[in-house]
Amino acid sequence: MATHTITTQWGEIPENADDLALVQGGAFRTFRCECGIPLPTRVAAELHATETNQCTACLGSADDEVVPGFVRRCAACAATGRRNVQLVWELAHSEAEQVITLGLVRGLVDGFTGPFRLSEVADATRMALGLPVGRLPVGPRVRDLLRELEAAGELVMLSAPDELLRGPSVVLYKDPQWQRVPEPS
């Protein structure tokens, strides 16, 4: 039985690198599987991971190296490295998109009189829907909707990034804080 451990090697990253291509696009890295199958691109690595029942996000490692030196547990497969768990989470994310609506989050945010944290809105959402912890990926969905409200000018983020992963262009927020923008008088 062949071992299918897929590893990632980072190449030289130029100073003017496209940060979106770096973080999400699989740029500036190469891939290798212990079984010897050539994996010249991220797509080839993902296809091989699928064929060997491994998570296509972390390629079976259970870790996600966002940029060189910053590793976090893979959220796509709940840090298992397995494809079947990843598929369950993808379905849960789709269900969360249907159940946790912009209107619901906007209504919950309207109940806060001052600044509020992502975790507070996620907890309020979970309570409003009667969801047990771990039933759906509430936090990531609420985060996306809060960012949407921020982009629409309804909220302003008050938090500074917790970590700069690649200067000011790739940052990490752990539990960001927002505030509603007052209505014009």
Q: Which residue has the higher pLDDT, 69 or 102?
A: 102
| Res. 2 pLDDT band, cuts 50 70 90 | low
pLDDT at 151 over 60: yes
The residues pairing with 70 across neighbouring beta strands, listed in sequence order, are 67
Highest mean pLDDT among 35-39, 100-104, 171-175: 100-104
Q: 3-state class of 93 per DSSP? A: helix
The residues pairing with 72 across neighbouring beta strands, listed in sequence order, are 64
pLDDT at 111 over 60: yes
| Res. 105 pLDDT band, cuts 50 70 90 | very high
**For range 54-72, the mean pLDDT:** 91
pLDDT at 146 over 60: yes
What is the residue extent of each domain of the chain?
Answer: 6-86, 100-180
C-alpha distances out from residue 164 to 25, 66, 132, 150, 161, Å: 19, 12, 33, 21, 7
C-alpha distances out from residue 110 to 98, 138, 154, 183, Å: 21, 18, 10, 12
- CATH ID of 100-180, from 1.20.1110, 1.10.760, 1.10.287, 1.10.10: 1.10.10
| Res. 11 pLDDT band, cuts 50 70 90 | confident
pLDDT at 58 over 70: yes
**DSSP codes, 103-152:** HHHHHHHHT-SS-EEHHHHHHHHHHHHTPPTTSS-HHHHHHHHHHHHHHT
What contacts 109, CB < 8 A, 6 or more positions away? 116, 121, 146, 149, 155, 178, 180
Phi, psi of 15 (to 5 degrees): -60, -35
Give me the chain's average pLDDT, please. Answer: 91
Residue 29 has a CB neighbour count (10 Å cut-off) of 17
Q: 3-state class of 101 per DSSP? A: coil
Cβ atoms 83, 110 nearer than 8 A: no
pLDDT at 73 over 90: yes
pLDDT at 130 over 90: yes
CA distance 88 to 19: 29
